[in-house]
Amino acid sequence: MSRPAPVILSFRRTFALLILLVVLPSAGLSGFGVVAIINERAAVEKRLEAAWRGTLADLSAEVPRALGSGRLERVGGTEQLAFLLPDDQELSDPDGTFHVENGLVRTKDPQLAEALAALVPEAASLPTVPTVFSLASNGRAVMVAAERRGATVRGVRLSGVALDSLLSEKAQGRATSEPVRFTLLPVPRDTSSEGGLVNRLMSEVAQARQNALGTPVLAERVLSAPLQDFRLVVLPMGEDPVASASTRNRVVYGVLLGLFYLTLTFGVGYTARVLYREARLSRMKTDFVSLVSHELRTPLTSIRMFIETLALGRLKDPAQQQEVLDLLTKETERLSDLIERVLDWARIESDRKVYQRESLPVTDVVDAAVAAFRTQRHGDGMEFTVKVEDGLPRVEVDRVAVAGALLNLLQNAYKYSGPTHRRIALRAQRDGGYVNLSVEDNGVGIAKKDRKRIFERFYRVDNLLTRKTEGSGLGLAISKRIVDAHGGRITVKSEPGQGSCFTLQLPVGRA
pLDDT band of residue 440 (cuts 50, 70, 90) is very high
- Of the two residues 53 and 223, the one the predictor is more confident about is 223
Which of 185-194, 207-216, 396-405 is the least confident region? 207-216
pLDDT in tens, 91-123: 998 888 999 988 888 888 888 888 888 888 888
Residues 318 and 303: their CA atoms lie apart, in Å, by: 19
Residue 388: phi and psi, rounded to 5, are -115, 125
Compute the average pLDDT of residues 296-310: 79
Strands across the sheet containing 219-222: 180-186, 230-236, 219-222
Asked if residue 452 is part of any domain, the answer here is yes
Domain containing 489 equals 354-507
Q: Is residue 145 scored above 90 in pLDDT?
A: yes
CATH number of 498's domain: 3.30.565.10
Compute the average pLDDT of residues 32-52: 69
At 459 the pLDDT is 67
At 203 the pLDDT is 53
Asked if residue 189 is part of any domain, the answer here is no
Asked if residue 106 is part of any domain, the answer here is no
Q: Is residue 423 scored above 90 in pLDDT?
A: no
At 314 the pLDDT is 77
pLDDT in tens, 229-250: 999 988 877 666 666 666 777 7
Torsion of CA 266, 268, 274, 278, to 10 degrees: -170
Asked if residue 204 is part of any domain, the answer here is no
Q: How many domains does the chain have?
A: 1
Asked if residue 414 is part of any domain, the answer here is yes
Contact 426, 367 (CB under 8 A): no
Compute the average pLDDT of residues 439-465: 75
- Return mean pLDDT, the chain: 78
At 36 the pLDDT is 67
At 98 the pLDDT is 92
Q: Is residue 125 scored above 70 in pLDDT?
A: yes
Asked if residue 81 is part of any domain, the answer here is no
Look up the pTM and report it. 0.44
At 445 the pLDDT is 85
CA 33, 24, 260: angle at the middle one, nearest 5? 45
Compute the average pLDDT of residues 386-403: 90
pLDDT band of residue 450 (cuts 50, 70, 90) is confident
pLDDT band of residue 208 (cuts 50, 70, 90) is very low
Asked if residue 306 is part of any domain, the answer here is no
Asked if residue 199 is part of any domain, the answer here is no
